[in-house]
Structure 1
């Protein structure tokens, strides 16, 4: 399962462009880390909400893929993010967690944390619906 997730992630141009990487794969959960770089910030120096949301979307999508049968694929149907605090840290960690996986639709929780030294702050939280695409 982990190999399938990592191979799929490696094909994502946006994640490669952002410099994101998967740091944990487990049944129903995936963590993605994004290190701070000037290119990822908004005008106040915090991580841009687009980068924050992008890694959350991918973490949830791959969390869902961990519970799908081999050969299946996943597409996001919708997601909503609440930005709770400025994303100020040395890196962000997005955690996607499957809440319920059905035959067709899966719902995931999305949490994004900013880390600076010993401080870990929840900066965004959301929910996502995904659809399983079975091989033909």
Structure 2
């Protein structure tokens, strides 16, 4: 495990929201991350699809950790703006968010993530997010 991955995994382990959702940081590298969460009974909306809040939560975190990966040791980030486009109902066994840095900067980091539903019927793109992260002092 390299330094970037170790730093991101240490931070992720402190996120109680991700723990509540059963999310896991599956990949952590410079400029990109992947977070997965089960589509469990307690995260469904009224029609039986994964709630958009689940897609947003893991998509936002994947983008945020991608941003953190390009910042110096000791830095933290917060989301200052995030837009989500819901593309299709999220049906399957789990959601997977793949976050990436679009443009790193000292004051803002432009980020994006794509969320996919995975299950017996394969993999389907269900949401895309675009946002801005700001570095903050810990």
Residue of structure 2 equivalent to 1:22: 25
Structure 1: 4+ residue segments shifted above 4 A: none
3-state SS in 2 of match to 1:58: helix
Partner of 1:12: 15
Matches within 5 A, 1:1-136: 1-117=4-120, 119-134=122-137
Q: 2:64–2:79: 8 Å Cα contact kept in structure 1?
A: yes
Q: Point out where structure 1 has 5 or more consecutive residues left out of the alignment.
A: none
Q: After TM superposition, give the deviation of residue 117 of structure 1 in Å.
A: 2.8
* Unmatched runs of 5 consecutive residues or more in structure 2: none
TM-score, with structure 1 as normaliser = 0.96
CA contact (8 A) 2:60 2:129 kept: no
Cα distance, 1:118 vs. partner? 5.6
CA distance in 2, matches of 1:66, 1:118: 33
Report the 3-state secondary structure (helix = DSSP H, G, I; strand = E; otherwise coil) of the residue aligned with 1:53. Answer: helix
Task: Kindly report the root-mean-square deviation, in angstroms, between the aligned alpha carbons of the 2 structures.
Answer: 1.0
